[in-house]
């Protein structure tokens, strides 16, 4: 075939494929238009998961009758003009692609009345075929109905999910917009049933109530707007007692644009480090404001991602804001707070077993925490604890500045008197308000984590050459991540060298590992570090994970007998940490048997 320019019709159907992937994308484009038009009400009606019809009604500015047909032409927009540099874009739309794209793959009817006009107009585009604009009675605003989506693109139609599945996509998308625009009243109706409604009061907590319900709304903490910096963030985040098993409850916007950003999600998750158990995620709404020319919104076909000029700065502003509110709000991990509120936080007592959860160490599976890893079974020698205690002594009073946790208040342990060791796993101690059990591995992990992190930040990590360097094989693609993070790996003490396409020679290891780890062991830990890296995360997130993995393998394990002195040393070291109540993975290091509960159990009162 000779080269020829495609017809307008075919070209817009191709373009539509980029913008309009499924019913939820239609809803997103239409609702974004409503928001750009300054609407305070947006009502969405869905039939058959959106494949049958989608109707969006708003009370915005409306479209003048003489512009109605132009709105459906490709690259027709009222939001930018030739003078725009495509950098500082303040509206959600700007490409003039949505209406022509949608109307090339569906039957679209638009009825609109502009705010300066007494009469409305109606315009129909039937799978690309236009009819003349005609007068129509209408309230101010715009009503757009999209029917028979993808009927002329069978390939697309085939890839749609069930009506329920598509509806749930629409709902979660609309929920995000409702959370980002609390001053707009949203409603979602599907096949005659109301699915969601927000009142548009302007209060974020009301939007959360409309989207997630009252129970969630009650437990949200407010991120205070800090606009001292060039970037600001406000929003709501869940208190740690409220969490979810996946990260779909994290909503992020930049300058009013809903975006998906793995990195910023991680910034928020990372702020919960130590507050949430592993693999649990917060509910969060974070609205970021940046100078318009600091973001490039024109990098993704569906505008779902943006590019930041100063990404690291945004990342840290978000993380600091979330971390700040969590620390300020008496986290459940703090012993005092947990006790005062009587919450079922990490302070487990036999009484709490009534709710079905068996406190660890009381009839529970005590071997639970001893399955840490393999390859280090004879390690470490208990004497290492005494040695490390001396190190801690030297660092006494050191400020762990520079770590991501430096600006959070220090947690404190109660004064503990060690009684002994139980099940070769728990250190038993007595304190002012009862009896305490400390998980020796978790506690040592915390100590090692902060120490390794501190040294890392001071750039004073010690590296220990291996007597016999080991070769490790990497999964395909992992080499690139090694190269990406080589500086961090070196800084913590790893010395590695490429050896062929997918293998490495490990020549030296972080000193905390070196004393005991055999060559193979060190290689294993290295591979684990890389696995953690592959799970995603960059910068601080990844650094903390790396350090946590090293700490885990540098720590005393469950099942290891400790002398009285070693137990005391470990407790003393734990007392000096910033966050003694949780291990770096967020599991508790200490549980308490409250004296009151003991008295009650023994019927002393």
User: Smallest distance from the beta carbon of 139 to ligand ADP, in angstroms?
Assistant: 13
Q: Cα–Cα distance between 328 and 432 in angstroms, integer?
A: 25
Q: Toward Mg ion, which CB reaches closer, 63 or 583?
A: 63
Query: CA 219, CA 243: separation in Å to the nearest integer?
Result: 10
Rounded least distance, CB 108 to ligand ADP, Å: 11
Give the whole-angstrom CA distance, residue 354 versus residue 511.
45
Q: Could you give the CA distance from residue 226 to residue 245 in angstroms, rounded to a whole number?
A: 30
Decide which of Mg ion, ligand ADP, none touches 61; Cβ closer than 5 to 8 Å per partner kind.
Answer: ligand ADP
**b vs e for 402-429, b when ≥16 Cβ sit within 10 Å of the residue's Cβ?**
ebbbeebeebebbebebeebeeebbbbb
Task: Dig out the tokens for 471 from the structure.
Answer: 């070769």
Closest CA to 284 of 336, 247, 230: 247
Give min distance, CB of 11 to ligand ADP, in A.
Answer: 15
* Termini Cα distance of the chain: 94
- Please state, in angstroms and rounded to a whole number, the distance separating the CA atoms of residues 39 and 183: 10
Q: Are 322 and 286 in contact (CB under 8 A)?
A: yes
Q: Which residue is nearest to ligand ADP (CB)?
A: 93
**Shortest Å distance, C-beta 93 to Mg ion:** 3
| Residue 34 contacts which entry, Mg ion, ligand ADP, none (Cβ below 5-8 A, type-dependent) | ligand ADP
**Residue 120: contacted member of ligand ADP, Mg ion, none (CB under 5 to 8 Å, by partner type):** none
User: Which of Mg ion, ligand ADP, none does residue 57 bind (CB under 5 to 8 Å by kind)?
Assistant: none
Contact partner at residue 266 from ligand ADP, Mg ion, none, CB < 5 to 8 Å by partner kind: none
Binding footprint of Mg ion on the chain (CB under 5 A) = 33, 93, 98
- Kindly state the smallest distance separating residue 50's Cβ from Mg ion, in Å: 17
**DSSP of 115-179:** TT-SSEEEEEEETTEE---EEE---SEEEEEEESTTTT-HHHHHT---HHHHHHHHHHHHHHHHH
> 356 by DSSP, 3-state: which?
coil
Pairing label, strands 107-113, 284-289? unpaired
What is the contact surface with ligand ADP in residues (CB under 6 A)? 29, 33-34, 37, 58, 60-63, 71, 76-79, 93-99, 142
Give the one entry of Mg ion, ligand ADP, none that residue 58 binds, where binding means its C-beta sits below a cut-off of 5 to 8 angstroms depending on kind. Answer: ligand ADP
Three-state SS at 413: coil
Q: Nearest approach, Cβ of 15 to ligand ADP (angstroms)?
A: 11
User: CB under 5 to 8 A by kind: which of ligand ADP, Mg ion, none does 385 bind?
Assistant: none
Nearer to Mg ion, 98 or 217 (CB): 98
Nearer to Mg ion, 63 or 98 (CB): 98
By beta-carbon proximity to Mg ion, the closer residue of 18 and 531 is: 18
- Shortest reach from residue 81's CB to ligand ADP, in Å: 11
Q: Tell me whether residue 98 or residue 325 sits nearer to Mg ion (CB atom).
A: 98
Q: Which does 330 bind (CB under 5 to 8 A by kind): ligand ADP, Mg ion, none?
A: none
At closest approach, how far in Å is the CB of 178 from ligand ADP? 17
Which residue, among 309, 307, 289, 290, has the nearest Cα to 298 in the 3D structure? 307
Q: How many CA atoms lie within 13 A of 541 on its CB side?
A: 22
Compute how many other C-beta atoms are within 10 angstroms of the C-beta atom of residue 443.
28
Binds 259: which of ligand ADP, Mg ion, none (CB < 5-8 Å by kind) = none
As a residue count, the chain comes to 605
95/441 with CB nearer ligand ADP = 95
Q: Provide the minimum distance between the beta carbon of 511 and ligand ADP in the complex, in angstroms, as a whole number.
A: 57
**Closer to ligand ADP by Cβ: residue 96 or 521:** 96
Q: Smaller CB distance to ligand ADP: residue 45 or 79?
A: 79
As measured in angstroms, the least distance from the Cβ of 77 to Mg ion is 7
Structural contact between residues 248 and 282, judged by C-beta atoms closer than 8 angstroms: no
Closest CB to ligand ADP among 42 and 522?
42
Supply the DSSP string of 449-477, one letter for each residue.
HHHHHHHHHTT---EEEEEEEEEEE--TT
CB of 93 or CB of 100, closer to Mg ion: 93
CA 174 to chain centre: 19
Q: Which single residue brings its beta carbon nearest to Mg ion?
A: 93
């Amino acid at each position: 075939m000779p080269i020829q320019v495609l017809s307008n019709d075919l070209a817009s159907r191709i373009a539509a494929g980029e913008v309009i992937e499924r019913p939820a994308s239609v809803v997103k484009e239409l609702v974004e238009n409503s928001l750009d038009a300054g609407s305070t009400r947006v009502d969405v009606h869905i039939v058959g998961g959106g494949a049958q019809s989608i109707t969006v009604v708003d009370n915005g500015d409306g479209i003048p009758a003489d512009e109605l047909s132009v709105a459906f032409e490709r690259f027709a927009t009222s939001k930018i003009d030739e003078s725009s540099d495509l950098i500082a874009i303040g509206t959600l739309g700007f490409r003039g692609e949505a209406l022509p794209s949608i109307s090339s793959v569906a039957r679209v009817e638009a009825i609109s009345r502009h705010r300066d006009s007494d009469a409305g107009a109606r315009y129909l585009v039937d799978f690309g075929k236009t009819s003349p604009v005609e007068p129509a009675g209408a309230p101010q605003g715009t009503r757009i109905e999209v029917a028979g989506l993808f009927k002329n693109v069978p390939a697309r139609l085939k890839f749609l999910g069930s009506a329920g599945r598509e509806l749930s996509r629409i709902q979660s998308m609309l929920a995000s917009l409702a959370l980002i625009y609390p001053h707009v009243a949203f409603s979602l109706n599907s096949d005659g049933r109301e699915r969601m409604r927000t009142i548009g009061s302007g209060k974020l907590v009301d939007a959360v109530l409309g989207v997630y319900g009252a129970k969630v709304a009650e437990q949200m903490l407010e991120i205070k707007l800090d606009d001292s910096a060039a970037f600001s963030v406000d929003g709501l985040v869940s208190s740690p007692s409220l969490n979810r098993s996946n990260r779909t409850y994290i909503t992020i916007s930049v300058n009013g644009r809903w975006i998906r950003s793995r990195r910023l999600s991680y910034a928020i998750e990372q702020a919960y480090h130590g507050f949430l158990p592993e693999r649990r995620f917060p509910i969060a709404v974070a609205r970021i404001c940046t100078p318009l020319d600091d973001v490039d919104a024109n990098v993704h076909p569906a505008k779902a991602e943006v590019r930041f000029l100063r990404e690291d700065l945004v990342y840290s502003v978000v993380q600091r804001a979330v971390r700040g509110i969590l620390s300020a709000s008496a986290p459940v991990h703090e012993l005092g707070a947990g006790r005062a509120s009587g919450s079922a936080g990490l302070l487990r007592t036999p009484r709490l077993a009534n709710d079905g959860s068996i406190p660890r160490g009381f009839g529970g599976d005590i071997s639970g925490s001893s399955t840490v890893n393999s390859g280090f079974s004879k390690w470490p020698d208990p004497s290492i604890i005494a040695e490390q205690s001396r190190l801690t002594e030297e660092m006494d009073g050191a400020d762990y500045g520079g770590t991501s946790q430096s600006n959070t208040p220090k947690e404190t342990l109660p004064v503990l008197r060690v009684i002994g060791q139980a099940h070769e796993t728990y250190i038993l101690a007595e304190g002012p308000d009862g009896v305490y059990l400390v998980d020796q591995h978790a506690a040592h992990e915390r100590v090692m984590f902060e120490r390794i992190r501190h040294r890392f930040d001071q750039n004073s990590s010690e590296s220990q050459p291996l007597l016999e360097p080991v070769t490790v094989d990497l999964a395909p693609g992992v080499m690139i991540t090694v190269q990406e993070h080589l500086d961090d790996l070196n800084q913590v003490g790893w010395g590695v060298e490429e050896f062929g396409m997918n293998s490495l020679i490990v020549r030296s290891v972080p000193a905390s590992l070196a004393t005991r780890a055999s060559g193979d062991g060190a290689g294993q830990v290295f591979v684990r570090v890389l696995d953690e890296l592959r799970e995603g995360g960059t910068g601080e997130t990844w650094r903390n994970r790396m350090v946590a993995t090293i700490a885990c393998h540098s720590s005393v394990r469950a099942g290891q007998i400790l002398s009285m002195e070693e137990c005391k040393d470990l407790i003393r070291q734990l007392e000096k940490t910033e966050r003694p109540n949780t291990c770096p993975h967020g599991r508790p290091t200490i549980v308490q048997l409250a004296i009151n509960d003991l008295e009650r159990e023994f019927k002393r009162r």
